[in-house]
Amino acid sequence: MFKILYTSLLTMMMLAGYNATYASHIAGGELNYTWLSDSTYQLTFKFYRDCSGISQPNMVTVCYKSDCDSNIYNVDLVPMVTIAGGLLNGSPVNSSCPNYPTTCNGGMLPGYAEWWYTAVVTLPDRCSRWVFSTVMSARNPDDNLQNATGDYFYVETTLNNILAPSNNSVNFTVNPVPFVCDNQPFIYNNGSVDIDNDSLGYEVIQPKTSFYCGNSVTDIPFVSSIYNLYDNPMSCNNTFVLDTLTGELHFTPNLIGSYTFALRVTEYRNQVAIASTMRDMQVHVISCNAAAPMIQLDTTTVTLVNNKIQDCSGVPLHFCFSAKSANPAAVLVATDNHDLSAPGSSITYSRLYTDSIYGCVSWLPSDSDVGLKIFTVTVADSNCAAPGIIVPNTYSIPIYILNGVTVSADANICYGASIALSAVGGASYAWSVLPGGAPVSSLSCTSCSSPVASPTVTTTYTITTQGGSCAGTDTVVVTVVPTPATPTPSSNNPVCEYDSILLFAGISAPGYSWSGPAGFSDTVQNPVIYFADVWSDGMYYVSAVDRNCYSQPDSVYVHVLDAPVPSAITVSGINILSTDDTFSSYQWYLNDSIIVGATADTLIAFQEGYYTVQVTNETGCIGLATIWYIPEGVNNLNVAARVNVYPNPATTSISIDAPIPVDIEISDMAGIPLMHLKKTKQADISRLAAGVYLLKITDANGQLLKVEKLVKLGN
């Protein structure tokens, strides 16, 4: 008999400390949504409260924001009256026998209550990524995360409401399991169900935290390097195994304690990720002896294909399985998710309350059931031997429903390109085309399973199969994307060194692809290159892009003119300041104010201050030289000459090296102050936009020491 231990992923087993009381109370939770209409969704937050901790909140705030703007919205979720199965909100998660009560009903064993909160929201617009999230205080203690006890609890769910505006998030159909036994193999599946029939992928991720709703999110690190997300997120001697296809996992814990980790389920539609749902979980390992029952498929009732039950839509499916405990005194009970994973199916059990049970599922799948379904069955020993702990194990049975014939997903190709089609199911194949498309001769063959299609217009191909395990007809649409119009680029050529290069595509298109000197690339319509240098001189190319199809490129040349570099200002005679005499024009400034009439290469200084000479060369480009000067007869501390700013240009911060305490002011080129720091040696400029700014440095009395241009590069 073929034996199956369908192994995949532990979702949410939440537990806190055994025989202990904490001010914290959160042992796990998740956030999901149900589409109602247009851009309106019902949010539901479920969390598992430690009955020995603080009370549940009267409401829960959920924030939602998109990648398309910086707005943050929020909504208050209120408690529901009842939860799944008609239970009252706040009902305990059953984990112990009647004679062994938990803290939820006056006992000593850790107990957890399930609380649901809900509200309806309407999104203001559509974006490729919306994030719904909530932050709560405070987490339960655990043994594998660093400083997580009492920390803020965070979960999120995401949505692409451009590609999938009517999407429903994943729901978890298997309740959390409060306890697992030390040194006993454990098998679990959270029973993820997606009513939209999207493909699901699973991954274990680091638990996360955030200070408040909508704030930046950070991972909570493990307390030790022995832990990892691959095979040891908890103390299990690296036995943790996750099946990323079915969501089932198994592990053998080897150390008593509480352990927290998180699961993310991602939904894929046409091989594109459209949504994800996160579940935070805590598992409590205690000393007990509850051997996991072994489950087997009855292969006399079904045939496996690639370790999955396979059937065709419209064809009755019937399969049976058994679960047996190694303990002859076991009293096995079973629950399952057949009504959600296989809508319209029925199940019967025999030999319940013995050490070996037998279940059979009957189902007539329809066309809407095509794809991978994960049937889960949870088996637990309810004999209530001391310490009265019930440890359910959840097993996964994958069922793959074929649609008579399964054909390649609809696809886009660029004009002049080809694509390989593929059909599965049936023994013979006949390809044809619907009217309005390319001729059937656009196929490399019409009687094979995988022809190459080369249409020049959007075409619907039809495949008809006969014989084999499934037979039927299906279609695939190959959309031919016309070659986008060629851009007509332009620029602000020529550009002086250190100024900005402005590039213009010249046409509107869904997307753009720019390239140029020094590895330049960009995807916006009209990119800007700040702080141009000699390496920016050259030809810039741009193509219009539509659905990964590129136009013919066109180009524009940008010449970067050398900026003049005057020599350092020198002092000669009595208070005479001089610079090179080789430039086209000059203008002197004192303390950043123009000196009227000072347009020669020399200047007589009459007062203490910061002197700047602006020179212009024959191409109209500007350069600067500066000096701090105190004319003869004025007490000259010569401080300004010893003030240095570095680095410049800078990306995130600058440092000021000065012999005395200094104040700084950063303003834009129009003179509007943006930042003012006193007695500082460093400034954080990471939040400034890329560009050119003025940096003024003064002493503690407000005496100007230095002014220079500050160039902020992109982060």
Question: In this structure, are residues 61 and 213 in contact, taking their beta carbons and an 8 Å threshold?
Answer: yes
Superfamily name and number for 406-481: Immunoglobulins (2.60.40.10)
- For 639-715, the fitting CATH number among 3.30.750.200, 2.60.40.10, 2.60.40.1220, 3.90.550.10 is 2.60.40.1220
Least confident of 49-53, 345-349, 375-379, 476-480: 49-53
Token readout for 597 is: 């009439």
Q: Place 7 in a pLDDT band, splitting at 50, 70 and 90.
A: very low
Q: Which of 11-20, 140-149, 526-535 has the highest mean pLDDT?
A: 526-535
| CATH numeric code, 490-561 | 2.60.40.10
Strand 644-646 relative to strand 653-657: parallel, antiparallel, unpaired?
antiparallel
What's residue 19's pLDDT? 30
Kind of pairing between the strands at 152-159 and 73-79: unpaired
Rounded to whole angstroms, what are the CA distances from 238 to 226, 542, 587, 695?
A: 9, 51, 73, 56
Q: Please, which pLDDT band fits residue 313 given cuts at 50, 70 and 90? A: confident
- Evaluated on CA atoms 3, 9, 13, 18, the torsion sign reads positive
Q: What is the pLDDT of residue 561?
A: 94
Q: Fold for domain 26-286? A: Immunoglobulin-like (2.60.40)
Mean pLDDT of 119-145: 93
At residue 227 the predicted structure's pLDDT band, cuts being 50, 70 and 90, is very high
| Candidate from 248-262, 635-649, 653-667 with smallest mean pLDDT | 635-649
* pLDDT at residue 471 is higher than 80: no
pLDDT tens string 571-582:
887 788 999 889
The answer on pLDDT for 186 being more than 50 is yes
- Residue 12, pLDDT score: 30
CB burial class (10 A; 0-12, 13-18, 19+) of residue 581? exposed
In this prediction, residues 620-631 reach a mean pLDDT of 88
CA 676 → CA 56, 246, 673, distances in Å? Answer: 45, 57, 8
Per the model's pLDDT, the better-predicted residue between 161 and 422 turns out to be 161
pLDDT above 60 (res 16): no
pLDDT: which is higher, 215 or 92: 92
Band (pLDDT 50/70/90 cuts) for residue 469 is low
pTM of the model: 0.56
- Of residues 261 and 168, which shows the higher confidence score? 168
- CATH number of the 294-397 domain: 2.60.40.10
- Contact between 676 and 664 (Cβ < 8 Å): yes
The pLDDT score that the predictor gives to residue 11 is 27
Structure-block tokens of residue 504: 């213009």
Q: Are 296 and 179 in contact (CB under 8 A)?
A: no
Q: pLDDT band for 425, please (50, 70, 90 cuts).
A: low
Q: How far apart are CA 75 and CA 267, in angstroms?
A: 25
Is the model's pLDDT at 85 over the cut of 50? yes
For CATH 2.60.40.10, list the domain ranges present in the chain. Answer: 26-286, 294-397, 406-481, 490-561
- Tell me which residue of 469, 425, 423, 476 sits closest to 448, measured CA to CA: 423
- What tens digit of pLDDT does each residue of 388-399 get? 777 888 899 999
Numbered ranges of CATH 2.60.40.1220 in the chain:
639-715
Average of pLDDT values for 329-357? 93
Mean residue pLDDT of the chain comes to 87
CA distance 683 to 672: 18
484 falls in which pLDDT band (50, 70, 90)? very high
Of 170-179, 327-336, 342-351, 442-451, the least confident: 170-179
Res. 636: pLDDT tops 70:
no
What single-letter DSSP state applies at residue 82?
A: B
Half-sphere exposure for 287 (CA within 13 Å, toward CB): 1
Tokens of 53: 């901790």
pLDDT-derived band at 467 (thresholds 50, 70, 90) equals low
How many alpha carbons fall within 13 Å on the CB side of residue 348?
5
Q: How far apart are CA 272 and CA 125, in angstroms?
A: 21
Is it the case that residue 379 has pLDDT exceeding 50?
A: yes
H/E run at residue 339 = helix 338-341
Q: Which residues of 484-508 are buried (b: 16+ CB within 10 A; e: fewer)?
A: bebbebebebbbbbbbebebbbbbe
Give the pLDDT band of residue 525 (cuts 50, 70, 90): very high
| Span of 14-28, 80-94, 454-468, 650-664 with lowest mean pLDDT | 14-28
C-alpha distance from residue 210 to each of 213, 217, 316 (Å): 7, 5, 50
pLDDT the model gives residue 426 = 65
Cα 366 from Cα 347, distance rounded (Å): 18
